[in-house]
Amino acid sequence: MTSKEATIDVSIKAAGYLGARSALSYDRLEQAEYRPDTIFKKAYSWPADWEGRVMLGLAALERATGRAPLYLEAMLDAVDGHLNDRGYFGERYPAGELDEQQLSGHSWFLRAMCEIYEGNQDERALRHIQTVVRELLLPATGYYRTYPVERAERDPEGEAIGEPTGERIGNWYPSTDVGCAFILLDGATHAYRVLRWPELRALIDEMIAVFRTIDWTGLSFQTHATLSAARGIVRHYESTGDPELLRLASRIYALYVREGMTENYANYNWFGRPEWTEPCAVVDSFLLAKTLWAHTGDRRYLEDAHSILYNGLSYGQRPNGGFGCDCCAGAKDAYLSPRRDLFEAYWCCSMRGGDGLAQAVLSLYVAEDRTVTLPFYNDSAFSADWADGGRLALEQETAYPFEGNVRLRVSEVRGAEAVRLRLYAPSWCGEREAELLLNGTPFAYAIADGFAELTRVWLAGDTIEFRFPVPLRAETVRNARHAGQGQVIRHGVLVLGAAGGGAQARLAALRPIGPAVYESETDGTVFAPLTDLTGMSESDAMEDRRRVLFELDAQGTALG
């Protein structure tokens, strides 16, 4: 992957954990369901949704991996043949009539086109962005104020694939995915970043003004829609600098954690309706958490992003590389398992899972001025080229999140400017218990905002080793609706599950038998991370069931 950040050219190539999962996802998105002759739908109640999600996933994975997609170019060539006479997907409605699902689906198409255009300045993508905004979005101006938000107007029931309710409410044809019209904030704000049209900003401002007044939990808003809207709000903050937008996004995220997050960091599909998780929303929560960290510096958001990535999103990936829905751990009982009937949500989550993994790769390093920050750890190669000719290239080896060790080797240097390195130091490791070695010798480092920092004029061949303990620990539940359900047992960032179900074990009696794997000396129950479905057969993964919440007494005994 290469990208340009201001005057810095950055290249990241991931191997290891994220490299393998991204490749598996990429392979899935090049199978039969995701090819040019199958992605364009005719009689379809979500126009542009499937098409947009597929192209977004492929474009993001291309940017993250450097691997050219087999079919994306043909998809772009084929788009025009599937649009209506106004240049967008689906039906043309009379002025003043809006299809909630049509607007939602076009958010993903806009995101895909913006991702492609920002990556390679493809004029086809720019034309589609301009046309969809002009012909579909701008005519919606003024009508978001009439979005139906009365509880009596909205049926809180719905299935895994949202459908039109079959009735018109005022100006709107609403969906059982309550709130999905506000998914459009994600695509609209991305389009605004490209176009900077003042009339599009006026529509975005209207959407946000309406959205902030809604009782999201009272209406059982879809958490995917809520989090996508919040991501759009943060992007609009980046475009406008309005600090109130960042505060609003932070408030939405806090509500989601308190009311809509499971104990393995996945989601309720709807607020108040813990029926299944949806990796689309899990991706949204990961991206929102890491972006809030980037703008606030609050390490709690970054630690959430790690927890979401290695627990909720990882468990949601299936052996074939796609993503599917699970039960909501903590909502009804103490167990986590895939939903057999929704084992792979190939129509939406498999595509968004690819986008989420791609963004995780792209977030491994952040280069600003003469500072390189490592917010996440993964086997990888990195280089930054500054406009003045300076260059720093690194190679990383790590066993994180299973073990607390990171090794960096400086593979290339140009220029004589000092560069500051910032290495993520998890709060649970005990920052002062961590050790940093420079060229094999202990180095006195500073800790600032949750990062170990060291600055020097680097030489090719320099090595940096960062070692920190990964404790076994118990953690209280995060979701207010799960109070009294027990506690989670964690190895560092990893939530552990017990396949035995009714295990009783003192934490002190759990002995390690492998990386992040423990066995109870009391009854032999094995506790292991929730990251290994991709290594199972499909039949075994479908049958997986683990206890993830445990009652702990004052001595740290898990009471099944």
Q: With 70 as the cut, is the pLDDT of residue 324 above it? A: yes
From the list 258, 280, 383, 399, the residue with the least C-alpha distance to 330 is: 258
How much is the pLDDT for 4? 45
| CB neighbours of residue 64 within 10 Å | 27
How much is the pLDDT for 2? 47
User: CA of 544: how far to CAs of 22, 52, 330, 340, 535, in Å?
Assistant: 23, 32, 16, 10, 12
CA distance 260 to 44: 29
CA distance 274 to 387: 50
Report the chain's mean pLDDT, rounded to a whole number: 93
CA distance 379 to 437: 18
Burial label for 259, CB within 10 Å (0-12, 13-18, 19+), is middle
Strand pairing partners for 172? 98, 169
532 HSE (CA, 13 A, CB side): 17
Residue partners of 224: CB distance under 8 A and separation at least 6: 177, 180, 183, 267, 269, 278, 280, 281, 284
How much is the pLDDT for 322? 98
Q: With 90 as the cut, is the pLDDT of residue 150 above it? A: no
Domains and CATH numbers, the chain: 31-154+163-213 (no CATH), 368-398+404-467 (2.60.40.1180), 472-559 (no CATH)
Average pLDDT over residues 347-372: 97
Q: With 50 as the cut, is the pLDDT of residue 3 above it? A: no
- The β-bridge relationship of strands 380-386 and 391-398 is antiparallel
User: CA of 14: how far to CAs of 33, 163, 378, 523, in Å?
Assistant: 27, 39, 7, 40
How much is the pLDDT for 161? 63
How much is the pLDDT for 557? 52
Burial label for 204, CB within 10 Å (0-12, 13-18, 19+), is buried
How much is the pLDDT for 174? 94
What's the pTM value of the predicted model, to 2 decimals?
A: 0.96
Phi, psi for 255 (deg, rounded to 5) = -65, -45
How much is the pLDDT for 553? 59
3-state SS string for 168-193: CECCEECECCCCHHHHHHHHHHHHHH
Q: With 50 as the cut, is the pLDDT of residue 335 above it? A: yes
58 HSE (CA, 13 A, CB side): 27
Look at phi and psi of residue 443 and say left if phi exceeds 0, alpha if psi is from -120 to 50, else beta.
beta
- Which sign does the torsion angle of CA 461, 365, 286, 70 carry? negative
User: CA of 381: how far to CAs of 23, 364, 407, 408, 478, in Å?
Assistant: 16, 10, 12, 9, 35
Whether the Cβ atoms of residue 501 and residue 508 lie closer than 8 Å to each other: no
> Residue 105: which pLDDT band, with cuts at 50, 70 and 90?
very high
CA distance 358 to 18: 9
How much is the pLDDT for 559? 44
445 HSE (CA, 13 A, CB side): 30
CA distance 256 to 10: 33
> Residue 99: which pLDDT band, with cuts at 50, 70 and 90?
very high
